[in-house]
Structure 1
Amino acid sequence: MRSYSTIYLSVLGAITFAPTATQAQDTTTDKSVERIEITGSRIKQTELEGRSPVQILDRDAIDRSGLSSIGDIIQNITASGSALNTKFNSSGNFGFPPDGGGVGAGATTVDLRHLGAKRVLVLVDGIRWVNESSASGVGGVVDLNTIPLAIVERIEVLEDGASSIYGSDAIAGVVNIITRRSAVGATVSTSFGQFSKGDGDTSTFELSFGGESDKHSYFMAASYNEQKSVAADTRAQSSLPVPGTGLAFGSSAIPGGRFIINDPNTGASLDLVPNAGITSPNYDPTLGDSCDRTDDFHCFTTADRFNYSSYNLLQTPNKRVSLYAQQRYEFTPDTNWYLRALYNQRSSVNQAAPEPMFIGTFSPSNYWMDNLTIAADNPYNPFGFDLVASGDDPNLILAGKRPIEGGARRFEQNVDTFYIASGIEGQLELAGNLYYWDVNAAYSTNRAKQDNFGSYNARRIATALGPLASCQADPACVPLNIFGVGSITTDMLGYIQPVVRDTSENKLSLYSANITGDIMELPAGALSFASGWEYRKYTGEYTPDALTVAGEYNGVESSPTSGSLNVNELFIELNVPLLADLPLAKQLDLSLASRYSDYSTFGSETTSKVGFRWLMQDELLFRGSWSEGFRAPNIGELFGSASGFDAVLSDPCSAPIPALAANCAALGVPASYQQPNPQISVVTGGNRELAPETSTSYNLGTVYSPEYASATAWSERLDIGISWYQHELKGAIQALDAQTQLNLCVQTLSDTFCNGIGRNQLGAIDQFNNVLTNIGSIETSGLDFDIGWLLPQTAFGQFNVRLRATLVEDYTVLDANGQRQPKTVGIEVNDTAIPEWSGNLALNWQHEAWQASWTMRYTSDLEESCGDAASFAVCRNNPSTGQNRLGSTTYHDAQVSWSTDAILSGMQLSFGVNNLFGKEPPICLSCSLNGYDPSTYDMPGSRYWYLRASFSI
């Protein structure tokens, strides 16, 4: 029989994006056998296969991925759901989410089981990491870009509920990043990669070194990572607002300006655009509402719409610099002191099209823009009469100007992460039993600032367009010309275009003490336990620019957020051996765990877990668990002040279907109303009355390692694992999906959905409140499949095959009124997807100095609603019902490596290509940007090659 330590090392060396499904072995109570702590239990144990399914991504698997971000690597596992990454060009496009966390621009997060990033707990060496801060809110999730890949020894991913072990947030699972502890000598690693189109360059440089003595060891690392941008207009799929529809879905805020007016002198209703090249147009009122015009205007058509996509980014630039140090000192043979410290600096950029100016109540956007007057004495007003946007009888229905003169909106983030942790850990023997203990303290902070270039001061726009006397009363004011392409001069921009600066910060202080060991010997083995105490304090604040707070920012409005909370926790975990050395029970253990949490914000919560581990025989292991979970509302959710975001919504009352016409009329919408702009300002905010989310999770699995496939001529080892999971979440903290709320309001006229949605006299939505609450439930279940086959060593080398696949059987979301929400299996909605099947198949080969790998990543097909694009041919599946099919997708990644000491000590050269065959992502018609879902697929035109070299000094 092989020892567990031997199994552990062999598995870590062979694994590729899959859990360790090792052959089951005899347990031992020999105290000389090293005990380890595997994520999912605080009890140190000799058994590698525990009661919960854990994937271990070791350093070899990380290197084979060709990726340079922890988040990107985890997002490739099959249990991963839709999560933020640097392919999301967030700022200026997605607005503020209702949870008060901000847009997370430049961050990369992790979602497990499609339950959302907020329901995944991220640990570093078993200790919580500080939440992200991207200067747009108080985030409630961890940005994995704050943790440099250079310091990672391995990543353990627990795919089971674990609140009783780790506390809040561990509903969907836990990601535990294990750092390198020591090294002897120095290692240098560098890499360069880019897409086959010659863009998106990524460069990395890592230097690590360390040393050991009898009592002291240390490890230090410095790293630099720079990812450059990829513009949306460099790929055909992302070059239009909606692929395959031309300019039909372009913006009505256009460079020359669009003006929907009623001429008070003639009564003519006009929808006019200045002709090309005209910045001081002449208006002829005698032409009435004719489109056969001889003045300097023409009637607005689809061809005039603005293609904002060309300004967007497919990949956002992201630069990270980090320093890390860890040292350990042995006070006595049984007591060690450790100290860890990290500094990580991230610079990132998001970009959006020039900020539109929507003036008038037909497309409400901002108080100043909705109520201004373009005065008759404004020197650039060609109409000769006041254009009044508000009041009882407005004659300016809409003015839509895209001031390209001011350039694109650029959102530049600088995020600093500081972390320091220290502790003492050791072991002691009492009454013949060995106990392991540790005492820890950690402090971490994430500070961010964001500079927004290319936005506008709405109050100053109103002054510069209004009566000339009002402008002249302000010495800085320059009258504004919005009529024609290139009409806005540098002096005009100087008055209306500020730099908007926002800041935010998250802090986490943590103290803990733990002990684990054997209590007593029972007939079937040792009764073992773990117990501990933890105290955490969270502090967060978001400070938007004073312009934003004053409501003068011509964009989303936001108010400051500030708050703190603390929690005291106690936990206990037991492992009870029930049977041993019986015909059908080589070993049967029962695990019990419970955690008490006392929060300063809502009170206390207790969660428990029961699990079993049944080693039927050496070849066959069964395991299962039932667990309670909870997630406490975070600072942004509790204390987030009212803020707005521009949601892209389709108004059902815009040229409504006959069945809805009466309801729309009852809501005060004129029969002729057509929505001019899909961007609707939605106001959200925190709720101090929120209760925790609660959950119940189930897991049942088996690992089969047949003896007939061990150490034979055709197989060195074969492991087959199957695991079933189910999560039931109640009281989910979220706002009702805005589009769903609007649809249900029109369909039902119920106050439940219509309260908070207001319309003006033109029928346009001018109020949309969408605050957080505890709504409904989420239920999901599925199966994980894992097969690992290590072939024997031959003269041609050794092959290793691993298959990991996940089947999502069910995903159901109900709101508080029992209404089913659109997110479910096989559906693409709101830039997220839940594929029924996802899988990774990897073939690895090693022979002397050479290694090679081939990996296939599979996503099954999806469906989406085409919405307003249903009449276009690009809606491929069933245009008559407005459904579009996103076909199944398989990506192929390949890598080859060569090692030698002949040139430099420990030198390794690697060359790889991800998406070897240049597979394009399926077109997504409902996605907000770039015509595809960046949380599910590689970006268009994304054959990516890279070179990496490492050596020792």
Structure 2
Amino acid sequence: MASLVGNTLASSVSVILSTMALALPVSAQEADGDKPVTLNSVEVTGSRIKGADMATQVPVLAITGEDLAATGLTSVGDILQQLSSSGSALNTKFSNAGNFGFPPDGSGVGSGSATLDLRHLGSGRVLVLVDGVRWVNESSASGVSGSVDLNTIPASIIDRIEILQDGASALYGSDAIAGVLNIITKRKQDGVSINSYWGTYPSLNGGTTTQNNISFGNSSDKLDLFADVSYVTQKAMHTREWARAANECIPGTGLANCSASSPYGRFRFVDPNTGVARDLTLNRDAAPGVPNYAGDFHDFTNADRYNYGPDNKLLTPSNRGAIFVSARYAVTPSTTWYIRGLYNNRRSRSEAAAQSLGFGPSGNTMATTISLAQDNIYNPFGFALDPQTNLISVNRRVVEAGNRVFEQDVDTYTLNTGFEGSFGFRDRSYYWDVNAGFGNNRASQRVTGTMNMTHVKKAVGSPSGCLAIEGCVPLNLWGAPGSITQEMLDYILFVEHDRSQNKIKALSANLSGSLFTLPAGDVNFATGIESRDYFGSYEPDALIVSGESNNVPSQPTRGRYDIREAYLELNAPLLADIPGIRALDLSLASRFSDYSTFGNTTNSKVGLRWQVFDDLTLRSTWAQGFRAPSIGEVYGAMSRFDATIQDPCSADAPGFAGVAAKCAALGVPNGYVQSGRQVGVQTGGNEALKPEESTSLTIGAVYSPSWAQNVGWADRMDITLGYYRIKLDGAIQALDAQTRLNRCVAAGDPNAAACENIVRSRTGDFAQFDNLLLNLGSIKTSGYDFGVNWMGPESAYGRFKVNLQGTYVAEYEAIDANGRVEPRTVGVELNNTGMPRLTANMRVGWALKAWDVDTTFRYISRMKESCAGAAGFPICNSASKAPNRPNGTHVLGRTVYQDLRASWKLPITLDMTVSAGINNLWDKEPPVCVSCSLNGFDASTHDLPGRFFYAQAGIAF
């Protein structure tokens, strides 16, 4: 490998030097005394070369500690999701710890986690660094994630955040396709600081959040020390407190889209005495005991469906405690040793409605083998229900067991240490560092309220067989709520225990400095090598693995891989101080990566920075990128995800008449009606996956007009405008399940490609629906970023400031391997994720002496979604159809939120500041989402309902 790395670097150097040689004949002037001084010790995200001019070389968005505090939020993930360039990502507002199943990438569901998505390309395509070093990936005891949980990084240790909105695989390697997030931690502090925060949603009786931290430090000539201890508590907010979400499973549709599994049961079978298919539920006024067939039953209707909405949560409760220590020691005047360590613990608790106990011929678990014995003492029918002959399905909501509870306990350990320094050689300065890092995310999950289906099988079987087994008690699924006794529950319930882990080990060494001098200035370089090792595992409960539980089935996952890398970056000043060119710089970078899983790859980047004059800088970069498939994507075993799907072959589906013949050809029996909107889709990894490859282009301008500096109406004004275009090939993802089913039905041929591994049982329900990960075609996206930052002058009335940041998504198109356009695009809500065409944030601030007041306006443009289960209801506000909206169109209106905050530095001896604020000042409710899985709104795009009030105080001494 060494020779291969050497050859690659040599080739890169040759190309770069040749490029510079071609540039030399162009006339250039010597730098004069007015040329800005280069601060070689400065390094910005997006370049390994140290230099002040590099800050305008690439599109980097900086967020200060003051900006973080102004949001009034305690989670770094929640803060970053308000960025205009941010897409939909996991956060604590989507309280799902696995009750819907597992995503196809094998990542699991971190209830209480928060991730970052840039450019709507997914959190796995964003590289997360902490102090320039990769952070360990998330773990949630439900999978092996390829993304970072930002809630493992306490907000109290952050000095600032830099976000590179550009591809950077040439500098940082895999994952940096959509951008790079670099969190820079605090290095030093003199004295002690104590901060306390409290916030709540008073109108919804919940969501109270507290954060307390104490930090201390000391600085001397040789030692900088910083330590921080923090604890965050976020309490639950229940859906039942918000009438819109609690009253209906999908707003505007009554009970039509609620669960077919109710506490009164739903029993579908063919009566062997009459040959008539029955679809029954127990009468609400049925007498206690064993009901009478058929007098105590009636035909099941939508009015009998179970509304699970009030049992959900709007906000996941969690506790996060962390200890962080950072020390830097000057071994010599030019060499520093540093060490950073963090321990973070997250405990979160998510709840879902009481478990539904169901069995029948559909599916692929042992529930397909369960029969109700004719002589079972609680059998009201007088005949057996056998999945091989007359049973279609039995479903009973076991409310006697209470809600399902998912409790996650996650420990995060990280340690990073190394040396950095500088030296001079032949009148040039060089900077070096060597670094070693380790991270471990270890999680356990405890799930209560689930059932052992082996015990259920025995309990509904022949009583003679049950009573011969110690502890077995016949089970009464057919009576009114309360008919399942504690003794019965003790036999069928079990406590599920799951575990997962993610580890990273990394070593790196870097060198940067000046190579030689051209007429326009120094040619600077950075080079380095890096080694990383990853390991991930997921171990579900043994009953889950065997399929003996009625919880979502999954299989264990385990995998590891390693990478060895080398890179080279050059920055060459081509021209300077000639008419029309204040400075013209060329940057080149190339990185070679050797993976144990798929081989090697080389990715390069070219950048051009043109400072037209002092006020105006233009920049552009072209970059290759790649993302290696994660452990979950490669080794993830088969698991189930309960996708919300409208089956076109259901007799009550919109447009059924037009596809009835095709459905019959697919084996769907006449009169089939889909019992519930949630369809179990089998997902999993794929060892044949190849890395994703991308190319990106950014073009931007930074204008800081001198006519707006130190004048009567402004101290400074900066205007930025940028264009981005990203083309991703071999995108790793699964086909949209609804789209795939629609294509299968449209084909009307069980042998069609879209129908592969979609198998129906004799009842018409899905016996198998596999939807594995693939290198699925391509994704193209482009758009514009814009910003204005204005700072007013000091005056007797204080100082005003305005900051505007926005993103306009011009294009997003996903195409599968067969050239067909996938449904996700700009201005569309799909699968609990929205892609607004325009998002923008404007912050207006005022400061006078001890006071700071600012207000922020957040704009989200409107979106469209398929009506899905709301088709035919008045809430489906447009009959227009499109390929990605086959059941009509529902419009999510544009949304504007306003936040308000004020802080006051007390006029006392102690250094103490108090702040208070209101987020969502005008109590704006999120727009209704009829295709979303929970609570009728997209929690990854819009705020929770209700005003959020908060107050905080900080004291330093």
TM-score of the pair, normalised by structure 1: 0.94
**Is the 1:865–1:926 contact (alpha carbons within 8 Å) kept by the matching residues of 2?**
yes
Percent of pairs identical after alignment?
48
SS of alignment partner, residue 721 of structure 2? strand
**Is the 2:118–2:178 contact (alpha carbons within 8 Å) kept by the matching residues of 1?**
yes
- 1:813 deviates by 0.4
Pick one of 124, 127, 137 that aligns with 1:121: 127
Residues in 1 aligned to 2:710 and 2:463: alpha-carbon distance in whole angstroms = 90
SS of alignment partner, residue 324 of structure 2? strand
**Is the 2:914–2:954 contact (alpha carbons within 8 Å) kept by the matching residues of 1?**
yes
- 1:259 deviates by 1.4
Pick one of 906, 910, 916 that aligns with 1:905: 910
The residue number in structure 2 matching 1:450 is 445
The residue number in structure 2 matching 1:430 is 425
SS of alignment partner, residue 469 of structure 1? helix
- 1:281 deviates by 5.6
Residues in 2 aligned to 1:173 and 1:356: alpha-carbon distance in whole angstroms = 42
**Is the 1:277–1:485 contact (alpha carbons within 8 Å) kept by the matching residues of 2?**
no
The residue number in structure 1 matching 2:29 is none
The residue number in structure 1 matching 2:193 is 187
Residues in 1 aligned to 2:381 and 2:671: alpha-carbon distance in whole angstroms = 26
Residues in 1 aligned to 2:454 and 2:722: alpha-carbon distance in whole angstroms = 59
**Is the 1:798–1:845 contact (alpha carbons within 8 Å) kept by the matching residues of 2?**
yes
The residue number in structure 1 matching 2:302 is 302
Aligned counterparts, 1:268-307, within 5 A: 268-276=276-284, 278=286, 280=288, 295-307=295-307
- 1:485 deviates by 1.3
The residue number in structure 2 matching 1:350 is 350
Residues in 2 aligned to 1:523 and 1:93: alpha-carbon distance in whole angstroms = 65
Which digits, 9 at most, give the CA deviation of each residue in 1:512-546, with x for residues without a partner? 00011111111001000000000000001100001
The residue number in structure 1 matching 2:137 is 131
SS of alignment partner, residue 531 of structure 2? strand
Residues in 2 aligned to 1:461 and 1:351: alpha-carbon distance in whole angstroms = 23
Pick one of 921, 943, 947 that aligns with 2:947: 943
**Is the 1:26–1:618 contact (alpha carbons within 8 Å) kept by the matching residues of 2?**
no
Residues in 1 aligned to 2:722 and 2:100: alpha-carbon distance in whole angstroms = 36
- 1:270 deviates by 2.4
Matched, 1:923 2:928: yes
Structure 1 residues 469 and 422, CA gap change in structure 2 (3 angstroms) = same
**Is the 1:274–1:281 contact (alpha carbons within 8 Å) kept by the matching residues of 2?**
no
Output the amino acid matched with 1:324.
Answer: F
**Is the 1:814–1:820 contact (alpha carbons within 8 Å) kept by the matching residues of 2?**
yes
Residues in 2 aligned to 1:92 and 1:872: alpha-carbon distance in whole angstroms = 30
Residues in 2 aligned to 1:259 and 1:149: alpha-carbon distance in whole angstroms = 52
Residues in 2 aligned to 1:376 and 1:584: alpha-carbon distance in whole angstroms = 93
Which digits, 9 at most, give the CA deviation of each residue in 1:354-389, with x for residues without a partner? 11122223xx3453322211112111111111111x
- 1:690 deviates by 0.9
SS of alignment partner, residue 303 of structure 2? helix
- 1:395 deviates by 2.0
Matched, 1:792 2:781: no
The residue number in structure 1 matching 2:20 is none
- 1:657 deviates by 2.5
Aligned counterparts, 1:352-431, within 5 A: 352-361=352-361, 364-365=362-363, 367-388=365-386, 390-391=387-388, 394-431=389-426
**Is the 1:335–1:425 contact (alpha carbons within 8 Å) kept by the matching residues of 2?**
yes
- 1:261 deviates by 2.4
Structure 1 residues 676 and 26, CA gap change in structure 2 (3 angstroms) = farther
The residue number in structure 2 matching 1:247 is 255
**Is the 2:337–2:418 contact (alpha carbons within 8 Å) kept by the matching residues of 1?**
yes
Which digits, 9 at most, give the CA deviation of each residue in 1:668-696, with x for residues without a partner? 11231111122222112211111100000
The residue number in structure 2 matching 1:11 is none
The residue number in structure 2 matching 1:515 is 511
Structure 1 window deviating more from structure 2 (507-516 vs 395-404): it is: 395-404
Pick one of 485, 488, 497 that aligns with 1:489: 485
- 1:184 deviates by 0.3
Which digits, 9 at most, give the CA deviation of each residue in 1:170-213, with x for residues without a partner? 00000000000000000000010101314210000010000012
Q: Structure 2: which 5+ residue stretches go unaligned?
A: 1-31, 882-886
SS of alignment partner, residue 418 of structure 1? strand
The residue number in structure 2 matching 1:99 is 105
Structure 1 window deviating more from structure 2 (456-465 vs 626-635): it is: 456-465
Matched, 1:543 2:551: no
Residues in 2 aligned to 1:767 and 1:302: alpha-carbon distance in whole angstroms = 26
Pick one of 223, 230, 238 that aligns with 2:237: 230
Matched, 1:598 2:607: no
- 1:658 deviates by 2.7
- 1:730 deviates by 0.3
Which digits, 9 at most, give the CA deviation of each residue in 1:815-839, with x for residues without a partner? 1111111110000010011101000
- 1:547 deviates by 0.6
**Is the 2:563–2:594 contact (alpha carbons within 8 Å) kept by the matching residues of 1?**
yes
Aligned counterparts, 1:550-949, within 5 A: 550-655=546-651, 657-748=656-747, 749=749, 751-878=752-879, 882-902=888-908, 905-940=910-945, 942-949=946-953
Residues in 2 aligned to 1:421 and 1:937: alpha-carbon distance in whole angstroms = 36
Structure 1 residues 829 and 27, CA gap change in structure 2 (3 angstroms) = farther
SS of alignment partner, residue 53 of structure 2? coil
Residues in 2 aligned to 1:885 and 1:125: alpha-carbon distance in whole angstroms = 42
Which digits, 9 at most, give the CA deviation of each residue in 1:756-790, with x for residues without a partner? 10011122111011111111100000001111111
- 1:492 deviates by 0.6
Matched, 1:469 2:464: yes
Residues in 1 aligned to 2:255 and 2:792: alpha-carbon distance in whole angstroms = 56
Residues in 1 aligned to 2:287 and 2:484: alpha-carbon distance in whole angstroms = 9
Residues in 1 aligned to 2:33 and 2:678: alpha-carbon distance in whole angstroms = 63
For the aligned residue pairs, the C-alpha RMSD in angstroms reads 1.5
Residues in 1 aligned to 2:60 and 2:170: alpha-carbon distance in whole angstroms = 17
**Is the 2:708–2:716 contact (alpha carbons within 8 Å) kept by the matching residues of 1?**
yes
Residues in 2 aligned to 1:74 and 1:415: alpha-carbon distance in whole angstroms = 22
SS of alignment partner, residue 230 of structure 2? strand
- 1:27 deviates by 8.1
Aligned counterparts, 1:166-185, within 5 A: 166-185=172-191
TM-score of the pair, normalised by structure 2: 0.94
Which digits, 9 at most, give the CA deviation of each residue in 1:235-256, with x for residues without a partner? 0221121012111111111101
Which digits, 9 at most, give the CA deviation of each residue in 1:14-68, with x for residues without a partner? xxxxxxxxxxx9985857x453111000000022632211111101101101010
Residues in 2 aligned to 1:366 and 1:939: alpha-carbon distance in whole angstroms = 38
Residues in 2 aligned to 1:264 and 1:690: alpha-carbon distance in whole angstroms = 50
SS of alignment partner, residue 825 of structure 2? coil
Output the amino acid matched with 1:574.
Answer: L
Structure 1 residues 879 and 608, CA gap change in structure 2 (3 angstroms) = closer
Residues in 1 aligned to 2:471 and 2:34: alpha-carbon distance in whole angstroms = 81
Which digits, 9 at most, give the CA deviation of each residue in 1:601-641, with x for residues without a partner? 00001000000110010011000000000000111111111
Residues in 2 aligned to 1:337 and 1:282: alpha-carbon distance in whole angstroms = 76
Pick one of 86, 92, 97 that aligns with 2:92: 86
Residues in 1 aligned to 2:936 and 2:37: alpha-carbon distance in whole angstroms = 59
- 1:901 deviates by 4.8
Output the amino acid matched with 1:438.
Answer: D
The residue number in structure 2 matching 1:339 is 339
**Is the 2:47–2:54 contact (alpha carbons within 8 Å) kept by the matching residues of 1?**
no
Residues in 1 aligned to 2:953 and 2:805: alpha-carbon distance in whole angstroms = 29
Residues in 1 aligned to 2:784 and 2:641: alpha-carbon distance in whole angstroms = 37
- 1:140 deviates by 0.6
Residue-pair matches, total: 913
**Is the 1:527–1:574 contact (alpha carbons within 8 Å) kept by the matching residues of 2?**
yes
Residues in 2 aligned to 1:473 and 1:109: alpha-carbon distance in whole angstroms = 52
